[in-house]
């Protein structure tokens, strides 16, 4: 399994960088975990966006889903995505429609987003949209994915991927979260835990929503993750 960090910034991109986006590849299957602002351009430097099998979204904060907008425009309006006549000439490709797995209730959020400029169905018409059931494993080609709720400002799920024909290696993406035990349990004994380390110090006021670098390390230690990679921090 190959993991490529397309963007690791928090909710504002670094110069030349991108917000959350992680490409997971295994035996020809390509899954993008999160698609924050800046990710679509980064994705294009690695693979052709029509060759992605699925996009999976951990939660509906802008820095994890906003580039679904340009991605949808590309899938809808790029000339190669519009064979003429409809259905294409013999030998032309069918327009690509990667699957898009979003949290429960997120369809409405995406409609509201597109609806702001009169394009309510932009994203669901571009992708094959599905709201995942966090209690169920989903299969995308050679990969399986499962979900684990983690505490954050909005409903958020950590996502784990592993080969469909084996138990390992396991790649666990912790999404955004405040200090918690749920992620520790979800990620227990994982091969690689990608975990946010947003804060230089704990939030000064209000509810907690993110981790410091020390806390990220503590979660990795408690989960007995074989390897830990910090993400979601600014330069
Ligand atoms: Zn968030
Ligand atoms: Zn975030």
The DSSP result for 156-206, as a single string, is: EEEEEEEETTSS---EEE--S--S-SHHHHHTTT-SEEEEE--BSS--SSS
Protein residues with C-beta less than 5 angstroms from the ion ligand 1:
61, 176
CA 155 / ligand 2 centre spacing (Å) = 12
C-beta of residue 149 within 8 angstroms of C-beta of residue 178: no
CA 144 / ligand 2 centre spacing (Å) = 23
pLDDT category at 84 given cuts 50, 70, 90 is low
CA 88 / ligand 2 centre spacing (Å) = 40
Give the distance, in angstroms, between the CA of residue 179 and the centroid of all CA atoms in the same chain: 21
CA 225 / ligand 1 centre spacing (Å) = 22
CA 153 / ligand 1 centre spacing (Å) = 7
As a whole-number percent, the residues of the chain with pLDDT over 90 amount to: 92
pLDDT category at 136 given cuts 50, 70, 90 is very high
CA 8 / ligand 1 centre spacing (Å) = 13
Mean pLDDT of the chain, nearest integer: 95
Phi-psi sector, 69: left (phi>0), alpha (psi -120 to 50), beta:
alpha
pTM over 0.75: yes
Question: Across residues 67-87, what is the average pLDDT?
Answer: 85
The neighbour count for residue 105, using CB atoms within 10 Å, is: 10
CA 80 / ligand 1 centre spacing (Å) = 34
Convert the pLDDT of each residue in 43-56 to its tens digit: 999 999 999 999 99
Protein residues with C-beta less than 5 angstroms from the ion ligand 2:
63, 176
Lowest mean pLDDT among 35-39, 81-85, 169-173: 81-85
What's residue 93's pLDDT?
64
Tell me how many degrees the CA angle 156-65-185 measures, rounded to the nearest 5: 25
Ligand at shortest distance from the CA of 152: 1
pLDDT category at 130 given cuts 50, 70, 90 is very high
Question: Across residues 217-224, what is the average pLDDT?
Answer: 98
């Amino acid at each position: 399994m190959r993991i490529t960090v397309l963007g690791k910034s928090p909710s504002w991109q670094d110069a030349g960088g991108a917000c959350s986006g992680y490409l997971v590849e295994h035996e020809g299957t390509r899954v993008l975990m999160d698609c924050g602002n800046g990710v679509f351009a980064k994705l294009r430097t690695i693979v052709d966006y029509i060759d992605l099998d699925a996009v999976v979204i951990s939660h509906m904060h802008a820095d994890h889903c906003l580039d679904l907008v340009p991605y949808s425009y590309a899938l809808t309006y790029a000339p190669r995505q519009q064979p003429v006549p409809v259905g294409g000439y013999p030998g032309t490709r069918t327009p690509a429609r990667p699957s898009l797995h979003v949290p429960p209730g997120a369809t409405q959020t995406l409609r509201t987003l597109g609806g702001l400029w009169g394009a309510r169905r932009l994203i669901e018409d571009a992708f094959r949209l599905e709201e995942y059931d966090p209690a169920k494993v989903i299969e995308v080609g050679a990969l399986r994915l499962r979900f684990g709720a983690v505490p954050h400002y909005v409903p958020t799920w950590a996502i784990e991927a592993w080969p469909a024909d084996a138990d390992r290696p396991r790649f666990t993406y912790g999404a955004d979260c405040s200090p918690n035990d749920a992620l520790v349990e979800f990620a227990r004994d994982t091969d690689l835990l990608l975990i946010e380390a947003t804060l230089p110090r704990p939030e000064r006021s209000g509810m907690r929503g993110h981790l410091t670098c020390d806390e990220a390390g503590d979660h990795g230690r408690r989960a007995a993750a074989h390897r830990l990679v910090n993400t979601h921090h600014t330069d």
